[in-house]
Amino acid sequence: MVEIKIVAFDDAHRRLIRTVREQVFIQEQQIYPEIEFDGLDSEAVHVLVMDGEQPLGTGRILTDGHIGRIAIMKSARGQGLGAKVVQALVKYAQQQGYPRVDLGAQTHAVDFYRKLGFMPYGDEFMEANILHQTMEQMLEQ
């Protein structure tokens, strides 16, 4: 059974989160580990998607409302898990009273985030040799 939960980057969850991000970002997208693991994980709140003992996906939100590191294992894609990760992070932000959330979407994923209520703003930018677009969602209080 797939479970989506809010977790910390602690001893119980660090390895599981890293497993997903290493596979998706470092192996598949060729992002350098020092870029992917930027030292902000311990300050962030994370979502972890698990199927029993197997991690399937993850994402995080920083204290300023910035959502990022949304990753779903290749074998688990196409099941709506990415949307569920983003929705869990937005719900967490609403519960914390954040007025807005933002993210840097890889340009191929702009429509995915638009369907989840995010709107693009500003210019496209390069990060980790991948073109991105800043997007935001205003939250109801």
Tell me the whole-structure pTM to 2 decimals.
Answer: 0.95
Burial group, residue 71, by CB count within 10 angstroms (0-12, 13-18, 19+):
buried
Give residue 13's pLDDT.
97
CA distances from 26 to 56, 114, 138 (A): 16, 26, 31
Q: How confident is the model at residue 141 (pLDDT cuts 50, 70, 90)?
A: low
Q: Is the pLDDT of residue 67 over 80?
A: yes
Question: What is the rounded distance in angstroms from the CA atom of residue 128 to the CA atom of residue 77?
Answer: 22
Question: What is the rounded distance in angstroms from the CA atom of residue 13 to the CA atom of residue 10?
Answer: 5
User: Who's near 130: CB < 8 A, 6+ residues apart?
Assistant: 29, 31, 106
Q: Is the pLDDT of residue 140 over 70?
A: yes
